[in-house]
């Protein structure tokens, strides 16, 4: 009976109920998007950094990995020292640079990553195989599209350019053995991966026994902070960064995203609350005679209040479910815009959907619907019966 009366009241003014539901849907979509934005990039970046199990990074002193062109000298000695530290299970050196591939009369420039193929964590093979020999490399989809190269092709590559002689330096003949997805590269980045010794040799004396970054994997269950402190003590000439440290630095740089998300989320929740409160108040004022008659024939005040609250909650729930779908669509569109910022890895999502976000937004909107209906319904059900009946009759 209670739900039947609430449904009858809502369908009595279909246009008004529909407009209110659409308004709540827009508010719910914005609230969900802001909840996703508040934690999406942080969670996405953390998952990316830990995707290959490397919890620690070693970078040149005073910088984050690849923040500058600085490199770490004496890489072989760093590897030797790191392997003596307990709980370290793997170390992957990485050297960054550029490579120039000439095919016919056209030269294509790409980002090159020199790695140890057996332990690398920078790319995943999608076709072909990992480079095993010194003269082998893998390439990204964008590189293959730009050059027209195919797996099995032999490429003429260089690692430098002499502006005085106007010629490329560090030439090598390399065989393309695979197609790869580079985890940390921005979208549409031309990239290749090859053995680190090959890239060091191509770059010449400037890169001999050097690395841009070391990624370190720690034994499961080991204390990462303890290993971090041991690395800092054993290698004072480099910067040791754990995933947690990196996340704290990212939080500092992107704190305005969370502040913006909190403000806009609060505004959207307030708009939904005020919208439903206004609708319920108008509905109660139009139905004062009906409410007072119900009170006069013995219907409990609590039941009258509950019926009106159910109406507000129904609008909130239907609007929230519609807003969930709308929020996912808008989040995907907004994410495509933000992800186009230069330098960001393609795997980073600003809006990361998690079920708890949807449930949290739905719970907030439901609570707002309950609160929106309590005051106007209690006020209408508390009016003096005799006086209100006389005023309604005269009106």
Per the structure, the complete domain to which residue 32 belongs is given by 2-48+253-394
3-state SS, residue 115: strand
Predicted pLDDT at 113: 93
57 within domain boundaries: no
Task: Clarify whether residues 284 and 205 are in a common domain.
Answer: no
Residue 125 has pLDDT above 70, yes or no: yes
53 within domain boundaries: no
Task: Clarify whether residues 332 and 284 are in a common domain.
Answer: yes
| Domain-terminating residue out of 208, 236, 264 | 236
Task: Clarify whether residues 67 and 42 are in a common domain.
Answer: no
Task: Clarify whether residues 25 and 72 are in a common domain.
Answer: no
Task: Clarify whether residues 291 and 361 are in a common domain.
Answer: yes
> What mean pLDDT, rounded, does the chain reach?
82
276 within domain boundaries: yes
90-106 pLDDT, tens per residue? 999 999 888 999 887 78
66: left (phi over 0), alpha (psi -120 to 50) or beta: left
| Domain-terminating residue out of 209, 236, 263 | 236
Bridge partners (DSSP) of residue 162 are: 167
> Which DSSP string do the residues of 263-327 spell out, in sequence order?
HHHHHHHHHHHHHHHHHHHHHHHHTHHHHHHHHHTT--HHHHHHHHHHHHHHHHHHHHHHHHHHH
352 within domain boundaries: yes
Cα–Cα distance between 78 and 355 in angstroms, integer?
Answer: 43
159 within domain boundaries: yes
Task: Clarify whether residues 219 and 139 are in a common domain.
Answer: yes
Bridge partners (DSSP) of residue 191 are: 111
Number of folded domains that form the chain: 2
Task: Clarify whether residues 148 and 268 are in a common domain.
Answer: no
47-64 pLDDT, tens per residue? 877 778 899 999 888 776
55 within domain boundaries: no
Task: Report yes or no on whether pTM surpasses 0.75.
Answer: no
Task: Clarify whether residues 206 and 327 are in a common domain.
Answer: no
> Are the C-beta atoms of 247 and 45 separated by less than 8 Å?
yes
Task: Clarify whether residues 227 and 258 are in a common domain.
Answer: no
39 within domain boundaries: yes
Is residue 130 very low, low, confident or very high in pLDDT (cuts 50, 70, 90)? very high
Give me the helices (H) in 50-93, please: 75-83
Predicted pLDDT at 173: 92
96 within domain boundaries: yes
Task: Clarify whether residues 84 and 25 are in a common domain.
Answer: no
181-190 pLDDT, tens per residue? 998 888 778 9
CA angle 301/307/311 to nearest 5° reads 145
Is residue 3 very low, low, confident or very high in pLDDT (cuts 50, 70, 90)? low
């Amino acid at each position: 009976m209670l739900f039947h009366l609430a449904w009858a009241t809502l369908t009595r003014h279909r246009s008004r109920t529909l407009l209110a539901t659409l308004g709540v849907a827009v508010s719910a979509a914005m609230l969900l998007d802001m909840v996703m934005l508040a934690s999406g990039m942080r969670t996405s970046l953390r998952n990316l950094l830990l995707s290959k199990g490397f919890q620690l990074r070693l970078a040149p002193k005073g910088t984050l990995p690849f923040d500058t062109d600085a490199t770490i000298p004496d890489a072989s000695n760093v590897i030797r020292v790191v392997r003596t530290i307990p709980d370290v299970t793997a170390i992957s050196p990485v050297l960054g640079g550029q490579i120039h591939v000439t095919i016919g009369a056209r030269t294509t420039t790409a980002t090159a990553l020199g790695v140890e193929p057996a332990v690398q964590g920078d790319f995943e093979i999608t076709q072909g195989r990992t480079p095993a020999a010194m003269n082998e490399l893998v390439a990204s989809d964008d590189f293959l599209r730009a050059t027209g190269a195919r797996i099995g092709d032999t490429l003429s590559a260089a690692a430098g350019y002499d502006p005085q002689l106007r010629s490329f330096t560090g030439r090598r003949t390399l065989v393309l053995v695979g197609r790869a997805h580079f985890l940390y590269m921005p979208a549409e980045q031309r990239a290749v991966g090859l053995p680190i010794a090959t890239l060091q040799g191509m770059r010449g004396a400037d890169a001999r026994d050097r690395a841009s970054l070391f990624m370190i994997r720690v034994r499961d269950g080991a204390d990462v902070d303890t290993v971090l402190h041991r690395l800092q003590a054993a290698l004072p000439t480099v910067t040791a960064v754990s995933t947690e440290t990196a996340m704290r630095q990212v939080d500092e740089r992107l704190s305005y995203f969370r502040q913006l998300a909190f403000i806009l989320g609060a505004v959207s929740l307030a708009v939904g609350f005020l919208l439903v409160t206004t609708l319920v108040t108008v509905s109660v004022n139009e139905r004062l005679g009906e409410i007072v008659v119900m009170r006069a024939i013995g219907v409990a005040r609590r039941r009258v209040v509950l019926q009106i609250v159910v109406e507000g909650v129904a609008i909130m729930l239907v609007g929230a479910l519609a807003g969930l779908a709308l929020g996912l669509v808008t989040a995907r569109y907004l994410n495509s815009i933000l992800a186009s910022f230069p330098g960001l890895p393609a795997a980073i999502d600003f809006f990361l959907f998690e079920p708890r976000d949807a449930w949290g937004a739905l719970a907030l909107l439901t609570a707002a619907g309950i609160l929106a209906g309590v005051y106007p319904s209690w006020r209408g059900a508390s009016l003096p019966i005799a006086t209100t009946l006389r005023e309604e009759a005269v009106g």
